[in-house]
Structure 1
Amino acid sequence: MVTTVLVPDDYGVAVISALDGVRAVRYEPDGPVPPGGEDAEILVPRFLSPANTAHIAWQLPKLRLVQLLTAGAESWVGNIPEGVLLSTARGAHGASTAEWVLTGLLSVYREFTEFAVAQREHRWTQHQTDTLCGKRILLVGAGDVAVEIQRKLIAFDAPATLVGTRARAGVHGVDELPELLGDADAVVLTVPVTSQTVGMVDAAFLARMADGAILVNAARGSVVDTDALLAELTTHRLRAVLDVIDPEPLPSEHPLWDAPGLLLTPHVGGSSRGNWERAYTVAAREIARYLAGEPPRNLVHGEY
């Protein structure tokens, strides 16, 4: 028996075609189902596909599995037919995103952004900077990305505290956040988008953070109340490193562009060289488990 898999790019077709019993069919995410693809049992959406591309799932009567190339599943949860399995690429982008987080923190503490400006202006601005060493980092989220960040912070002697949905060994429960926020030098967000996390970083959350602390968003823009964060940045009380924004992409006239104490990147945390290879390695492994009659390891249950 041959299983048809719809794949959005040539590289993915080559990887998925190598699986036994699979026929990979290339499709255009914004186009109609290609000839030969109407019997697809598995759909692989393109990387960072928006919610409006989920319509293709409803055009595949034999669809049984949607295998994502991202760890985030918010664009697909609730947007696919009932009974269709949804699996993520958790584990593919954790190391890259963790690297982005450390780069952001180091850039702020060691003032690399300011030194780059001084270089362009031919100014020699020798002075003492802050350091990541010894900083207390609060990781809101306890999944793959957070664990990778915690592991990498060991090399900088920066102790990290994990916060998850529930308390367990080595992880604090989310109900403890109000007491933990004030003791952190930096708060790093790695949570998935759910009804519980959208807008969780509001004015009250930010008010509990210590003066001069850094908010790092490696999750999704909707987790943070943009106006509330802008208010804190404008008063210079907090600083921020953001890879994701609400709205995204950020309009050119948005006041956040000129906010003091902000380092902003355009959603590139997981977009480093080799990200396609890493994502398809996980996707192929998940699809192979499904074909073998085993549940994929990264199945989404409920909202995540």
Structure 2
Amino acid sequence: MLNAVRRTALRAGSETGRRKSSAAALLHGGLRTMATYDAPTKVLVVTKPSYKVSNAIMESRHIVADEKIEFVIAESADDLLAKHSKEELADLSGVLLTPQFASADLGKLLEPEAELANVKWIHSFSAGVDHMADLLAGTLSKSRTDIAVSNGRGAFSSSLAEYIILGCLHFNKKVPRCQQNKREKRYDRFTMPVLKGKTIGFVGFGHIAKSAARIAKDSFGMKIAAVRRNPDKSDSALADQVYTDKVELARNSDFVVCTLPGTPATVKFCDQALFDAMPDGAVFVSCGRGSAVDEAALAKHLREERLFAALDVFEQEPLPESSELWDVPDDRLLITAHNADLTEDFFELGWETFRKNFHRFRAGEPLDTPVDKAHGY
């Protein structure tokens, strides 16, 4: 009986010891995991020194100082290889790309056996990702499909929405006529049109377009129309009319707004047929990507004094002096230098979107603004 009690006690002690050992091992493993998680995540920033984000990173480090992140800045793939060893590059798990950097030469470093094989996330500071089109169509869609991609979508929608409304008001309120009257000291008491009841049609109905549509509808009483390749139920919650045909949209809109991204599928999407369909006196606003607009076709209608336009983006930037757009009269065309979203808080807004995606990446969660590699936006 005594021996049986002893054996039971020994088994209990042994079990307790095993539990303690298991708990210790679990705790030790947990601490190792926490230590790994606690270590800063190293992110490569690829940017040209002339691009403002380079200085902004240095000046704004306080924004991400507590974010467990360490930046490695390089101008190009060659610059990166020259300054860092393979061991250092193996520690990089993220990449931040700026619009001024051509990403094609980064692809070879991201291959499975290459220097940046451990990178699992790429973020575009801008909302547009056309600057990394080759990378999206190449390495990221073939050998490195495991790399997640995010962009600055939504960060600059508010300022671009303001620009869209500005373009509408500029011509609807006949601001050029007012300016001419002042120059000529003419007291011209003409009838001042309003936006209420007029239709604004969006070519592309993403974040920027919807931000502008809400202002147009809620603040100005405008009717909202949109053209979508694949309309869904959420579109009708904001849009009064959704089209699948861009010509039908143009024919029934007083204002046509293009916010399309720059992809092979959107090149010159706003073409002669669309401009032909717009009513006389209609206004065209473009603040997506210049490649989505046939500038020659638009210029023709502007010279013929059929349409008005406000353009912030162009096929070639900076807009060359040889462009026929410069010769369009001021009362027909408003030109801005792709700076509709270049606001005082531009970098803070961009960093905030980067931070949201960084937190999700670090936690192993879906990104906040994921990019569809196949569609390029």
In the superposition, the TM-score normalised over structure 1's length comes to 0.89
What is residue 296 of structure 1 aligned with on the other side? 367
> CA separation in 1, counterparts of 2:60 and 2:122?
14
Contact kept, 8 Å, 1:240 with 1:262, in 2: the verdict is: yes
> CA separation in 2, counterparts of 1:189 and 1:41?
36
Q: Deviations over 1:254-273 (max 9, x none)?
A: 21111131111110121111
Secondary structure of the structure 1 residue equivalent to 2:209: helix
Flag structure 1 segments of 5+ consecutive residues without an equivalent. none
What is residue 100 of structure 2 aligned with on the other side? 49
> CA separation in 1, counterparts of 2:60 and 2:129?
19
Contact kept, 8 Å, 2:284 with 2:309, in 1: the verdict is: yes
Q: Deviations over 1:221-241 (max 9, x none)?
A: 100111111111111111111
What is residue 244 of structure 1 aligned with on the other side? 313
> Aligned match of 1:228 in 297, 303, 319?
297
Contact kept, 8 Å, 1:15 with 1:284, in 2: the verdict is: no
> CA separation in 2, counterparts of 1:272 and 1:152?
19
RMSD: 2.3
What is residue 145 of structure 1 aligned with on the other side? 208
Q: Does 1:68 align with 2:124?
A: yes
Query: Are the structure 2 counterparts of residues 12 and 40 from structure 1 closer, same or farther at C-alpha, using a change threshold of 3 Å?
Result: farther
> CA separation in 2, counterparts of 1:115 and 1:11?
43
Contact kept, 8 Å, 2:77 with 2:105, in 1: the verdict is: no
- 1:80-95 equivalences under 5 Å are 81-82=139-140, 83=144, 84-95=147-158
1:31 Cα deviation after fit: 7.6
Q: Does 1:123 align with 2:185?
A: yes
What is residue 24 of structure 2 aligned with on the other side? none
Q: Deviations over 1:273-303 (max 9, x none)?
A: 1111111101111011011111212221112
Q: Deviations over 1:107-162 (max 9, x none)?
A: 1112224434554x362343323332322100111111111101111211112223
Contact kept, 8 Å, 2:247 with 2:273, in 1: the verdict is: no
What is residue 17 of structure 2 aligned with on the other side? none
1:77 Cα deviation after fit: 2.9
Q: Does 1:155 align with 2:206?
A: no
* CA radius of gyration, larger in: 2
Amino acid at match of 2:120: R
> CA separation in 1, counterparts of 2:202 and 2:324?
27
> CA separation in 1, counterparts of 2:95 and 2:264?
25
Amino acid at match of 1:295: P
Query: Are the structure 2 counterparts of residues 14 and 28 from structure 1 closer, same or farther at C-alpha, using a change threshold of 3 Å?
Result: farther
Query: Are the structure 2 counterparts of residues 58 and 273 from structure 1 closer, same or farther at C-alpha, using a change threshold of 3 Å?
Result: farther
- Which of 1 and 2 has higher RCO (CA within 8 Å, sep 6+)? 1
Q: Does 1:15 align with 2:63?
A: yes
Query: Are the structure 2 counterparts of residues 28 and 123 from structure 1 closer, same or farther at C-alpha, using a change threshold of 3 Å?
Result: farther
Contact kept, 8 Å, 1:91 with 1:144, in 2: the verdict is: yes
Q: Deviations over 1:15-45 (max 9, x none)?
A: 334213x222344469812548634221112
> CA separation in 2, counterparts of 1:13 and 1:94?
24
Amino acid at match of 2:265: Q
> CA separation in 2, counterparts of 1:133 and 1:174?
21
Q: Deviations over 1:57-86 (max 9, x none)?
A: 544513222111211111113325332322
Q: Report % sequence identity.
A: 27
Query: Are the structure 2 counterparts of residues 14 and 45 from structure 1 closer, same or farther at C-alpha, using a change threshold of 3 Å?
Result: farther
> CA separation in 2, counterparts of 1:126 and 1:30?
61
Query: Are the structure 2 counterparts of residues 40 and 133 from structure 1 closer, same or farther at C-alpha, using a change threshold of 3 Å?
Result: same
Amino acid at match of 1:74: D
**Number of matched pairs:** 300
- 1:154-193 equivalences under 5 Å are 154-169=218-233, 170=236, 175-193=244-262
> CA separation in 2, counterparts of 1:4 and 1:147?
35
Contact kept, 8 Å, 1:29 with 1:45, in 2: the verdict is: no
Amino acid at match of 1:43: V
> CA separation in 2, counterparts of 1:137 and 1:99?
14
What is residue 79 of structure 2 aligned with on the other side? 32
Amino acid at match of 2:172: Y
> CA separation in 2, counterparts of 1:199 and 1:269?
21
> CA separation in 1, counterparts of 2:274 and 2:280?
13
Q: Select between 180-189 and 154-163 the one with higher mean Cα deviation.
A: 154-163
Contact kept, 8 Å, 1:13 with 1:25, in 2: the verdict is: no
Q: Does 1:5 align with 2:43?
A: yes
Amino acid at match of 2:328: A
1:175 Cα deviation after fit: 2.4
> CA separation in 2, counterparts of 1:256 and 1:63?
43
> CA separation in 1, counterparts of 2:60 and 2:225?
37
Q: Does 1:112 align with 2:162?
A: no
Q: Select between 223-232 and 80-89 the one with higher mean Cα deviation.
A: 80-89
Contact kept, 8 Å, 1:242 with 1:265, in 2: the verdict is: yes
